[in-house]
Structure 1
Amino acid sequence: MKKETLALHAGYTKDEQKTMAVPIYMSTAYAFDSAEHAANLFALKELGNIYTRIGNPTTDVFEKRFAALEGGEAALATASGMAAITYSVLNLCEAGDNIVAANQLYGGTVTLFTHTLKRLGIEARMFDVHKPEQLEDLLDEKTKLIFFESITNPSIDVPDFEAIVAIANKYGIITIVDNTVATPMLCSPLELGVDVVVHSTSKYTTGQGLALGGIIVEGRSAKEKLLDKSRYPHFNEPDASYHGLIYNETPFPPFILRARLSLLRDMGAAPSPFNSWLFIQGLEHLSLRIKQHSQSALAIAKWLASHPKVKKVNYPLLEGDKNYKNAKKYLKGGASGLLSFEVDSFEEAKKIADSVKIFSRVVNIGDSKSIITHPASTTHQQLSAEELELAGVSEGLIRLSIGLEAVEDLIADLEQAMS
């Protein structure tokens, strides 16, 4: 089935009430038929509901639907996008390991990788998505993953998937891609050879800024790499915390199984069933929204490119943009609603952000309402000057998340703010 159809139907079999809408199961726990039934559930001899921290019927539909959209084997929903990223890393790493990540990442991800994980004994090594050959000098036997974004935030770069995946496959290393900005409707990383995909579902999935959430999706290729006992021993050895379970010896996708039974169980960043229900509603019309976001963003990018106060516009489908070739190759149907542009100074950027009337000064993206952000003073404030440069974030950079308003009104708002 096509993605538009999967977004409406995947993962849901109508219950005995025959409801067209997926029900919200607002329950913390679930009754067992007998002591034996409970034991079988905990031993994975039967599948079923135990406790909402581990799984919930509404969340289960959301996970199955999102996995279908990404072309994955299974998915795990989390309480936030950062929880999804954190769990995807901790699922592979322990103290003494290292990860290789793109310079061009969301500022919160950079901070997680270079500061928080460092305190846990996990080293982050950085590379430029436009120079994938750098990877060869960064990888070693302790490297557990390569992490990058399909459309980077806020530098708006599109990486060379094939080059990065080829190097990862050469060394048998898991690749993880944050596909938040592109969404499954515009980019299919798993089809491009990536092993695991993560999302902040707080963004385009809900589409209205209504709920926090994240999701991890495992691709078919992940298990083959996880069979490497020297690089990923904890997937091939008995887990003492789960009665000796060996994740690679079960019939279930091992990456998601371990993330659920070890990390979600122990750390507890589970989504609310109500939030999962909101995300299901958002998926139903994501294909329509992302087309409009993309069309409007391209129109505004073209207008900004001709404005005398604009030094540079970053949008992958602008002809002449350094990402144009990769965008045409890896993105289908648009380049999403995120764009950025540079003006002369920090103060000029703040003045523009303060002068808009329709755009809201917010640090979210992917909303139905348009948003303006000055990353150097907000989302990337914590980065050093060197880190800002590596991330492609100048002091005069302004990020726009283009919503669903009339594009003519948005251009008029920018024009008056820049006058």
Structure 2
Amino acid sequence: MSDKSYGFETLSVHAGAAPDPATGARAQPIYQSTAYVFEDADHAAALFNLQTVGFIYSRLTNPTNSALETRLATLEGGRGCTVTSSGHAAQVLALFPLMRPGNDVVASSRLYGGSIQQMRNTYPKFGWTAHIVDADQPDNFKRAVTEKTQAFFIESLANPGGVISDIEAIARIAESVGVPLIVDNTLATPWLCKPIDHGATLVLHSTTKFLSGNGTSMGGAVIDSGRFDWAKSGKFPSLAGPEPAYHGLNFFETFGDMAYTFHSHAVGLRDLGPAQAPFNSWLTMLGVETLGLRMERHCSNALEVARHLEKHPAVAWVNYAGLPSNKYHALAKKYLPRGAGSVFTFGVKGGYEVGVKVVDSVELFSHVANIGDAKSLIIHPASTTHRQLSDEQRDAAGAGADVIRLSIGIETVNDIIADLDQALAKAAA
């Protein structure tokens, strides 16, 4: 595409994809190939030395994946992108260039339960430590910083609690201590929020969710803003020091604002191997084409459902930032002016047993461990996604015994409400 400034929906359809020059095919091809033929020995050597850009092996780069990477970087306002096999793989890949044994990350307590588990129990196996803090008070991040802190980690719109982090305030603290701010933007998507515009260094996605929008394709993504000075503090030698695998090449000196993305491909994907399947990238590309349309319906449906549940006699509370009664409503208007997303929680009167009964009684909703589908989804986090956590950790994550999480789809909203009403009636009985 030209340098003309296009709107979000136009970029969602066109960024990263043009008619195929070989065949004229208008749809993005699926390059289901493991390897690519070199022009000659010099061309192969230049590729392996990172002296030229091209395709070697699909664990590192793939044309279909590259098209998706361009599209996501464009939509987020980033400089580069690396797609991965899952959202969790994206989290590990994001930290990989930043961390060494003995280092730590400061992370919000309001994260997806699997992310908290990963940080508390898996990262220590790498010699990494996670300090978990309440992000409602941004100063908690500054208080948790040590000389070994390498990054801050938050979600723009938290799963499952619908908590909105004050990205700008946390970004200012990250800048003051010289570390990057990593923001998981899965629930908001770039249609609702662009964290880079508010000071984020890196943006993560589980592309499995709203970006694909169809519940078919596992994937993740790491988008780099290209704005962080990796050499300034001396804390990031993998990016701003000699890389032994490439004859001492310094990624930041060589590639500038593309250093992080080049490192993620040339070292991260090479050594960790969490490459996204080209077919999944292709399906996600199709999903992103309708992202704006779907998110508009997701958000309008979610707001109407939340308003209904807020008045329901079987419901104790509703945590949806789109409601004026919600404590995060002001932050929602600042960071998510188009809508507060489609994933939110509510509490049922009667606690754990009633919550389980509700999810067993729905008919239109699907009881699955996923979000971001075109279909409406429901789950009881305490008995599923957050069951590995202690009661205190579940409560801190917004996934207590009475909590039900909804991912509101794009169906007719009256049908969504009717299904919840009948399920609540059965559970209350």
Q: TM-score range, shorter-chain basis? A: over 0.9
Q: 2:181 aligns with which of 175, 178, 182?
A: 175
Q: 2:386 aligns with which of 370, 380, 383?
A: 380
Q: 1:244 aligns to what?
A: 248
Counterpart CA distance in 2 for 1:133 and 1:47 is: 42
Q: In the superposition, relative to structure 1, how do residues 391 and 113 fare at CA in structure 2: closer, same or farther (>3 Å)?
A: same
Q: 2:103 aligns with which of 90, 97, 101?
A: 97
Q: Is the 8 A contact 2:80 2:226 kept in 1?
A: no
Q: Secondary structure at the match of 2:378?
A: strand
Q: 1:106 aligns with which of 106, 112, 133?
A: 112
Identity %, equivalent residues: 43
Counterpart CA distance in 2 for 1:309 and 1:135 is: 38
> Tell me, which stretches of 5 or more residues in structure 2 are unaligned?
1-5
Counterpart CA distance in 1 for 2:46 and 2:281 is: 27
Q: 1:231 aligns with which of 209, 232, 235?
A: 235
Counterpart CA distance in 2 for 1:78 and 1:322 is: 34
Matched, 1:73 2:82: no
1:312-331 residue pairs with structure 2 within 5 A? 312-331=317-336
Q: Is the 8 A contact 2:192 2:338 kept in 1?
A: yes
| Residue-by-residue CA offset, 1:100-130 (whole Å, 9 max, x unaligned) | 0000000110011010001221110011121
Q: 2:301 aligns to what?
A: 296
Q: Secondary structure at the match of 1:311?
A: strand
Q: Is the 8 A contact 2:90 2:204 kept in 1?
A: yes
Q: 1:148 aligns to what?
A: 154
Counterpart CA distance in 1 for 2:321 and 2:84 is: 30
TM, length-normalised to structure 1: 0.98
Matched, 1:18 2:34: no
Counterpart CA distance in 2 for 1:32 and 1:287 is: 39
Q: Secondary structure at the match of 1:418?
A: helix
Q: Is the 8 A contact 2:181 2:201 kept in 1?
A: yes
Counterpart CA distance in 2 for 1:43 and 1:3 is: 36
What residue identity is the alignment partner of 2:209? K
Counterpart CA distance in 1 for 2:246 and 2:233 is: 19
Counterpart CA distance in 1 for 2:213 and 2:317 is: 28
What residue identity is the alignment partner of 2:237? P
Using the TM superposition, give the Cα deviation of residue 228 of structure 1 relative to its aligned residue in structure 2, in angstroms. Answer: 2.6
What residue identity is the alignment partner of 1:283? V
Using the TM superposition, give the Cα deviation of residue 16 of structure 1 relative to its aligned residue in structure 2, in angstroms. Answer: 2.6
Matched, 1:286 2:302: no
Using the TM superposition, give the Cα deviation of residue 33 of structure 1 relative to its aligned residue in structure 2, in angstroms. Answer: 0.8
Counterpart CA distance in 2 for 1:95 and 1:133 is: 26
Q: Secondary structure at the match of 2:242?
A: coil
Q: 2:66 aligns to what?
A: 60
Q: 1:417 aligns to what?
A: 423
Q: Secondary structure at the match of 2:353?
A: helix
Q: 2:259 aligns to what?
A: 254
Counterpart CA distance in 2 for 1:94 and 1:332 is: 38
What residue identity is the alignment partner of 2:14? H
| Residue-by-residue CA offset, 1:52-99 (whole Å, 9 max, x unaligned) | 000001111100011000000000000111000111112211110000
Using the TM superposition, give the Cα deviation of residue 12 of structure 1 relative to its aligned residue in structure 2, in angstroms. Answer: 2.2
Q: Secondary structure at the match of 2:406?
A: strand
Q: Is the 8 A contact 1:360 1:370 kept in 2?
A: yes
- The CA RMSD measured in Å over matched residues stands at 1.0
Q: 1:271 aligns with which of 270, 276, 288?
A: 276
Counterpart CA distance in 1 for 2:18 and 2:413 is: 39
Counterpart CA distance in 1 for 2:193 and 2:62 is: 28
Q: Is the 8 A contact 1:193 1:221 kept in 2?
A: no
Q: Is the 8 A contact 2:135 2:141 kept in 1?
A: no
Equivalenced residue count is: 417
Counterpart CA distance in 1 for 2:333 and 2:326 is: 11
Q: Secondary structure at the match of 1:30?
A: coil
Counterpart CA distance in 1 for 2:165 and 2:194 is: 13
Counterpart CA distance in 2 for 1:144 and 1:116 is: 17
Q: Is the 8 A contact 1:229 1:236 kept in 2?
A: no
Counterpart CA distance in 2 for 1:234 and 1:80 is: 23
Q: 1:117 aligns to what?
A: 123
Using the TM superposition, give the Cα deviation of residue 242 of structure 1 relative to its aligned residue in structure 2, in angstroms. Answer: 2.2
Q: Secondary structure at the match of 2:183?
A: strand
Detail structure 1 runs of 4+ shifted over 4 Å in the superposition: none
Using the TM superposition, give the Cα deviation of residue 273 of structure 1 relative to its aligned residue in structure 2, in angstroms. Answer: 0.7
Counterpart CA distance in 1 for 2:199 and 2:413 is: 36
Counterpart CA distance in 1 for 2:93 and 2:53 is: 23
Q: 1:217 aligns to what?
A: 223
Using the TM superposition, give the Cα deviation of residue 229 of structure 1 relative to its aligned residue in structure 2, in angstroms. Answer: 4.4
Q: 1:48 aligns to what?
A: 54
TM, length-normalised to structure 2: 0.96
Q: Secondary structure at the match of 2:315?
A: coil
Segment drifting more, 235-244 vs 10-19: 10-19
Counterpart CA distance in 2 for 1:145 and 1:78 is: 20
Q: Secondary structure at the match of 2:22?
A: coil
Q: Secondary structure at the match of 2:27?
A: coil
Using the TM superposition, give the Cα deviation of residue 217 of structure 1 relative to its aligned residue in structure 2, in angstroms. Answer: 0.1
Segment drifting more, 367-376 vs 42-51: 42-51
Q: Is the 8 A contact 1:141 1:231 kept in 2?
A: no
Using the TM superposition, give the Cα deviation of residue 230 of structure 1 relative to its aligned residue in structure 2, in angstroms. Answer: 2.5
